[in-house]
Structure 1
Amino acid sequence: MLKFLIRGESVLEERLAQIGKMVDSESRLADIGTDHAYLPIALVKEGKIDFAIASDVAAGPLNNAKQDIEQAGLEDKIETRLGSGLETLKVSDQIDTIVIAGMGGKLMTNLLEQAYQELKIYPTLILEANIGEPLVRKWLMNHQYEIVNEKIIEVAGHIYEIIKAKLGREKVVLSEQDLEFGSFLSKEKNQAFIKKWSNQLHYYKNLLANLNKAKNKDQEKIDKINALIEMIEEVLK
């Protein structure tokens, strides 16, 4: 786990720790939406990486990051950049690993697509969406990234999915089940995975009951929910 000092206090955060474990040693990292720059500070302090860019769209969080980087004495190894998404990155930075964590899958893929269209293409992506993980997997698949690792964890009642992908030469086609559940996660089926999808199954069954009670039934939506329920039941077996 990542454990480090920020303003004299010991900070231990399991979500960031798991993201940090997925970062390859000696990577040149860009942490997009960095907030306090906890992740790059921890990785530099433990000697896993030697250079990082901490980028955020908001000045307030970026100022927090600057202060924490200065407090850690790492101004020569971690640069801060103000701006949206990956637009803050330059070719001369020689970034090979992008971390984006804590935003919705739709926004995340929009930022990645915008960068991709500008030919800003990076070998390794480590992504933690707080909603819309299938959208993230689909974007990766369609842009020739292969998912090489996934982790699902529960922290303080919240469930997080972390996806690591590497750029390849060919499209690695994922099934509907792989897009929805994650191939690594559905094989492991840990406690967090079972809890998430048991809760989702309960939600969809209630939703289906309500849809079937409606006077004007939306058959297309009912069919879609039925298919989802079948997939969840199958994966939970």
Structure 2
Amino acid sequence: MRIILIGAPNSGKGTQATFISEKYKIPKISIGDLLRKIINKKNNTKYKKIQKKINKGELINDKIIIKLLNKRLMQKDCMKGYILDGYPRTLNQAKIIQKNNFKINLVLELLVSEKNILKRALGRKIHEPSGRVYHDVYNPPLHKNKDDITGDLLITRKDDTKKIIQKRLNEFNLFQKKISQYYEKQKKYKKIKYIKINGDKNKISIQNTIKKIFNKLFFKKCALQDSNL
């Protein structure tokens, strides 16, 4: 199960990627999380520049990203699969994934209206160590501003402002059409499965759609084998 989950900023990728990761026992890999980890560990000028770019909603150099990604995918927990949360963000990154032979099985794209994206962005809360995502309205924690599992305080990311979200959204729209065309072509030649999901629906409805897709693509053979026993 090697999966890519793409969509606009604040389309619900983090929430659905966490759901997939926990239900199907594969690691969720977020480029943002990988970057934040190295920034916190390495206090030098190079990584401070990366932090400034993230805070402004700017894209990071592809060479840095692919180096981090290659290193992460070499780890043992990725042997049975993984889900890439929000990567690729550009056509060049999509081509880099193919060039590096990551052998992706499925690309899921969450389609969400701009109105809902802005609504979701301005109430989002993050548990930074795990990447768990909450929202004041749509996915509130059990206890206000605290992670459901650890009880740690949740944070609001510095790039979750209306100005930065709009900038990231404009940037996404600039590249999205080319990425969509690229994966449609890959789908046509049966190199991957590419499925678009209505992300304007509520969280549970989206998760039920994902479960149906996974049951059909990944578990159909197992179900047939079990029925023949």
TM-score by length of 2: 0.34
The structure with the greater share of residues assigned to strand is 1
TM-score by length of 1: 0.33
Greater Rg by CA: 1
